[in-house]
Amino acid sequence: MVETKIRLFVDHPLAEGQTVPLDRDQSHYLFGVMRQGEGAMIALFNGRDGEFAAEVTRAHKKAGELTCRVKTRDLQMPPDLWLLFAPIKKARTDFIVEKAAEMGAAKICPVQTEFTNSERIRQDRLQAHALEAAEQCGGTYVPEVTGLEKLDRVLADWDAERQIMFCDEALVGAAQTLSAVKGGKWAILIGPEGGFSEAERKRLHALDFAHAVSLGPRILRADTAAVAALTLWQEHLGDWS
């Protein structure tokens, strides 16, 4: 087993013997901030090829190179689960994306609902949060964060094969029904602080592929609800067992 303490995502093909050039930011981080030098071993992953122990073979302040020595882990794909959520305040939205990546969501999709306050998101920033979460939690996969889309439109184009776990605050306190459903492709849907509108609720309840569920006897904040729903889904239908 090769000892590596630092884990880095690189957007570069990885294979044993492969050299990987480092950009300015990565070089600054590894050699400046983390004080690594030639000969140090770093864990590398790119979201596609698994994880490799790579040796620093060139270290300069503004550039560098790593060479993959041994493969340490195969790519581990998360279950086919998307998280659809209505963006809330900036820090809480960042939290949702970070936790979704840690919890094993395959794709993270901000959706604009009727009561969503924010009309814009910083997709690049959210993607960077997902990447950092994968770096620190040992994930070999980085979920894509999509651009903000209107819930109406998302539902209009929906693939009926993908089930929706619709977290409906109107069911607060109702019995849990998730154990009655089966695996396959799924998405979790979490509303904004203001909840879902009656029109949205009516539409979702009428869809065959949407399953309205309760998240217990208390109303949770949207960020808590996202983590709770991911936990429940992973426990019943995901890769926890």
Site residues (CB under 6 A) for ligand SAH? 167-169, 171-172, 190-191, 193-196, 214-216, 219-220, 222, 225
Question: Looking at beta carbons only, is 6 or 220 nearer to ligand SAH?
Answer: 220
Question: Looking at beta carbons only, is 114 or 132 nearer to ligand SAH?
Answer: 114
- Quote the least distance from Cβ 219 to ligand SAH, whole Å: 4
d(C-alpha 20, C-alpha 73), whole Å: 18
- Quote the least distance from Cβ 187 to ligand SAH, whole Å: 13
- Quote the least distance from Cβ 176 to ligand SAH, whole Å: 10
- Quote the least distance from Cβ 19 to ligand SAH, whole Å: 47
Question: Looking at beta carbons only, is 17 or 217 nearer to ligand SAH?
Answer: 217
Question: Looking at beta carbons only, is 41 or 165 nearer to ligand SAH?
Answer: 165
According to DSSP, residue 170 is labeled: G
- Determine contact, residues 71/140, Cβ cutoff 8 Å: no
- When CB distances to ligand SAH are compared, the closest residue is 191
d(C-alpha 172, C-alpha 213), whole Å: 9
Close Cβ partners of 54 (under 8 Å, ≥ 6 residues apart): 20, 41, 42, 43, 44, 66, 67, 68, 69
d(C-alpha 30, C-alpha 61), whole Å: 9
